[in-house]
């Protein structure tokens, strides 16, 4: 072992003895908020504050207010939750407990489901553990010793996890009488946890496989301060009100029936209209930008999926069938048909770029445990496009897609962020092609001065991608748009074009979606607007309400005039009190009510009430139609 270590912090370097901890070094540094430091990074690798340092390098401290700090805090809180559960319910077996976006969870194999009362008891015990200020401690054991340790505890899930680890030694963390298998890092002790809340219980299959045992998953969250936790819990309550599954039922948009099958959406008339409006908007926007409409079949021969690499790299997500003793794959993506269209005749460099667009319905075998309303389904439609271009056109095409996304997100009122996802472990293609594709995507982001993060190893199996994440009205992030750069599939399918010198060249293919899965986007949209869609998107734009049956004929006349101007209108001629009708129309979030009584009939006017307002304004029907037309054309929200 070296006799001394050279540790640099910011611009200062100093010599320390081997075995010193980051916590010891922190005590030497004059800082105002040392209590906010919960971990460190040595040469970019996260470490515990209490871990002995054995190598020289650059040391950075991790604040609980940073993204990495919050992740460590939440992961540590999941360990404290597991300790509380084991102390209260000794027969429960522990599995895994990671940090996730906005919180954490831990899966337990419990003889019975946890109840809300159980969560209260677990929270109470966690508070006692936190108050005890138990230190976290790390130990490394040889695999066999670790297996024996957990075998004695009866923790068979931990043994299964160790069996999947290739390392000869495994690390474990303890606080108090609880020990867990974990890579870490962790907070110094349980007393570091200042604000947490357990939020819900759900079922989850072990390792996400429906063939495995159903476990009990307890979700929770933790924040650096009680104020941050309070704000988050308020947003959580608002999110419950906006839940697209709840609003979908209340607004009669869609349903999911076990009779039809999980992950299959049944669109009701109003939901189908909303979907039609979004898709028609998409068609027009694509045509304006030089895309050509195409349609491919739902099933293609297995040989094609083998050729593309999907069979080897994506088979577990696909459905297969046999027709006339020939195996077919039900398409999970639309790219194969688009390449076949391209190959249907000889292409010249003058033809490029070619932009094929398809609102293509696809099927993917999602595990039942991850299905979630419109956000995770088994059948969905993608606003899928594939651009085939010459290598020197690649940059301008990527720039065009990013600007397309920017325009569309502005229309719907979404902010967004970007990530560049690089080559995954399971992939096809040469290192050279992957580097060319990654460089092309990164250059476009830099040309537009876009802020982005690198998401290592999360690209598609055939190429790197730009992922664009929407931020909704509650500041939640949703993955929708993506841009994938692919040199590999054109090679596999022998795609060529005749260049200006008469030689055959290989085009580059860009896979991209703007909204992504239409179902998922609509789920996000419902929650973003809380079901109160802007006028141009509202399935019903105007509802005509009558006060007495004397105005029924006039109401029909007004409705017909609105329909003639392509306004989506409903009539409510029921023999009910007008207050009741108004409340129902308000609950359905219809943008405009037209209320007709004797006065309106006599003066040939309409009394108009806008959504969210109690003021009723009388006007001529043509004046009302003009105001509607202006609002629709401006796509205001």
73 φ/ψ angles, rounded to the nearest 5 degrees: -60, -45
- Range(s) within the chain of domains with CATH label 3.40.50.800: 542-634
Residue 471's Cα: distance from chain center in Å? Answer: 10
Report helix angle 518-529 to 269-288, nearest 10.
110
77: which 2 tokens? 């809180």
Residue 6's Cα: distance from chain center in Å? Answer: 43
Of 547, 605, 550, whose CA–CA distance to 580 is shortest?
547
pLDDT at residue number 27: 87
Beta-bridged to residue 595, according to DSSP, are 545, 607
pLDDT at residue number 3: 74
CB 391 within 8 A of CB 344: no
Of 351, 389, 611, 370, whose CA–CA distance to 485 is shortest?
389
343: which 2 tokens? 């190959």
- Range(s) within the chain of domains with CATH label 3.10.20.30: 5-63
Q: Could you give the CA distance from residue 307 to residue 326 in angstroms, rounded to a whole number?
A: 16
On whether the 258-529 domain is CATH 3.40.190.10, my answer is no
- Range(s) within the chain of domains with CATH label 3.30.980.10: 74-242
CB 105 within 8 A of CB 99: no
Residue 527: which H helix or E strand, with range?
A: helix 518-529
**DSSP sequence for 190-224:** GGG--EEEEEEEEEEEGGG-TTS-EEEEEEEEEES
pLDDT at residue number 306: 94
**DSSP sequence for 99-126:** EETTEEEEEEE-SS---HHHHHHHHHHH
pLDDT at residue number 436: 87
pLDDT at residue number 29: 80
Residue 564: which H helix or E strand, with range?
A: helix 552-564
CB 82 within 8 A of CB 104: no
- Active-site residue list: 335, 364, 382, 384, 386, 465, 511
For domain 542-634, give the fold. Rossmann fold (3.40.50)
On whether the 5-63 domain is CATH 3.40.50.300, my answer is no
CB 273 within 8 A of CB 539: yes
pLDDT at residue number 399: 94
Handedness of CA 339, 342, 346, 350 (dihedral sign): negative
Of 190, 208, 229, whose CA–CA distance to 82 is shortest?
190
pLDDT at residue number 349: 97
CB 106 within 8 A of CB 96: yes
**3-state SS string over 5-47?**
EEEEECCEEEEECCCCEHHHHHHHCCCCCHHHEEEEEECCEEE
Read off the pTM: 0.83
Q: How many CA atoms lie within 13 A of 56 on its CB side?
A: 11
Of 253, 79, 247, whose CA–CA distance to 177 is shortest?
79
pLDDT at residue number 32: 60
- Range(s) within the chain of domains with CATH label 3.30.930.10: 258-529
Please name the residue that has the structure tokens 């496009």. Answer: 385
Please name the residue that has the structure tokens 């936790």. Answer: 229
On whether the 74-242 domain is CATH 3.40.50.720, my answer is no
CB 339 within 8 A of CB 491: no
Q: Which residues of the chain have pLDDT under 70?
A: 1-2, 31-32, 637
Q: Could you give the CA distance from residue 124 to residue 245 in angstroms, rounded to a whole number?
A: 32
Please name the residue that has the structure tokens 């297996």. Answer: 147
416: which 2 tokens? 């967004």
Pairing of strands 12-16, 5-9: antiparallel
Helix (H, G, I), strand (E, B) or coil at 252: coil
**3-state SS string over 382-402?**
EEEEEEEECHHHHHHHHHHHH
Handedness of CA 334, 335, 340, 342 (dihedral sign): positive
């Amino acid at each position: 072992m070296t006799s001394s270590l050279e540790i640099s912090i910011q611009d200062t370097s100093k010599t320390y003895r081997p075995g010193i901890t980051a916590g010891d070094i922190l005590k030497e540094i004059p800082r105002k908020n040392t209590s906010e430091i919960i971990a460190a990074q040595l040469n970019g690798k996260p470490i515990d504050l209490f871990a002995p340092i054995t190598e020289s390098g650059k040391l950075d401290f991790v604040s609980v207010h940073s993204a990495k700090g919050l992740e460590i805090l939440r992961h540590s809180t999941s360990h404290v939750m597991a300790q509380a559960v084991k102390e209260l319910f000794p027969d429960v077996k522990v599995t895994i407990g990671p940090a996730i976006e906005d919180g954490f969870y831990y899966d337990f194999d419990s003889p019975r489901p946890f109840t809300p009362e159980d969560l209260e008891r677990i929270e109470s015990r966690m508070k006692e553990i936190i108050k005890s200020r138990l230190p976290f401690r790390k130990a490394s054991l040889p695999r066999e010793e670790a297996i024996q340790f957990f075998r004695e505890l009866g923790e068979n899930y931990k043994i299964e996890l160790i069996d999947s680890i290739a390392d000869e030694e495994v690390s474990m963390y303890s606080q108090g009488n609880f020990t867990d298998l974990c890579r870490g890092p962790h907070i110094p002790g349980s007393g570091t946890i200042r604000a947490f809340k357990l939020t819900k219980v759900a079922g989850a299959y072990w390792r996400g496989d429906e063939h495995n045992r159903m476990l009990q998953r307890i979700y929770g969250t933790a924040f650096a301060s009680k104020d941050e936790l309070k704000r988050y819990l308020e947003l959580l309550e608002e999110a419950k009100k906006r839940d697209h599954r709840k609003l979908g039922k209340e607004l009669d948009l869609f349903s999911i029936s076990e009779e039809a099958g999980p992950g299959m959406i049944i669109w009701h008339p109003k939901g189908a209209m909303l979907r039609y409006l979004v898709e028609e908007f998409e068609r027009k926007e694509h045509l304006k930008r030089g895309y050509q409409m195409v349609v491919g079949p739902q099933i293609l021969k297995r040989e094609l999926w083998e050729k593309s690499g999907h069979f080897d790299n994506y088979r577990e997500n696909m459905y297969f069938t046999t027709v006339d003793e020939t195996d077919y794959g039900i398409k999970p993506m639309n790219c194969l048909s688009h390449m076949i269209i391209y190959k249907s005749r000889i292409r010249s460099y003058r033809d490029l770029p070619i932009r094929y667009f398809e609102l293509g319905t696809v099927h993917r075998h999602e595990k039942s445990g991850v299905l979630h309303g419109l956000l995770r389904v088994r059948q969905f439609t993608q606003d899928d496009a594939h651009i085939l271009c010459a290598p020197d056109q690649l940059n301008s095409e990527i720039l065009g897609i990013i600007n397309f996304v920017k325009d569309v997100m502005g229309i719907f009122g979404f902010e967004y962020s970007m990530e560049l996802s690089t080559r995954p472990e399971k992939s096809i293609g040469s290192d050279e092609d992957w580097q060319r594709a990654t460089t092309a995507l990164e250059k476009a982001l830099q040309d537009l001065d876009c802020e982005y993060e690198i998401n290592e190893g999360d690209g598609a199996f055939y190429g790197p991608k730009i992922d664009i994440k929407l931020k909704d009205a509650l500041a939640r992030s949703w993955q929708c748009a993506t841009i994938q750069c692919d040199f590999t599939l054109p090679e596999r399918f022998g795609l060529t074009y005749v260049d200006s010198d008469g030689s055959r060249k290989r085009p580059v293919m860009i896979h991209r979606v703007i909204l992504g899965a239409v179902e998922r986007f609509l789920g996000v949209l419902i929650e973003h607007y809380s079901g109160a869609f802007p006028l141009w998107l509202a399935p019903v734009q105007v509802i005509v309400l009558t006060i007495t049956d004397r105005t029924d004929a006039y109401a029909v006349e007004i409705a017909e005039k609105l329909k003639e101007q392509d306004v989506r209108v409903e009539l409510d001629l029921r023999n009910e009190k007008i207050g009741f009708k108004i409340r129902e129309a308000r609950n359905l979030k219809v943008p405009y009510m037209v209320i007709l009584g004797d006065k309106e009939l006599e003066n040939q006017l309409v009394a108009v009430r806008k959504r969210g307002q109690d003021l009723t304004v009388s006007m001529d029907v043509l004046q009302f139609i003009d105001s509607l037309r202006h609002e629709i054309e401006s796509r205001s929200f």
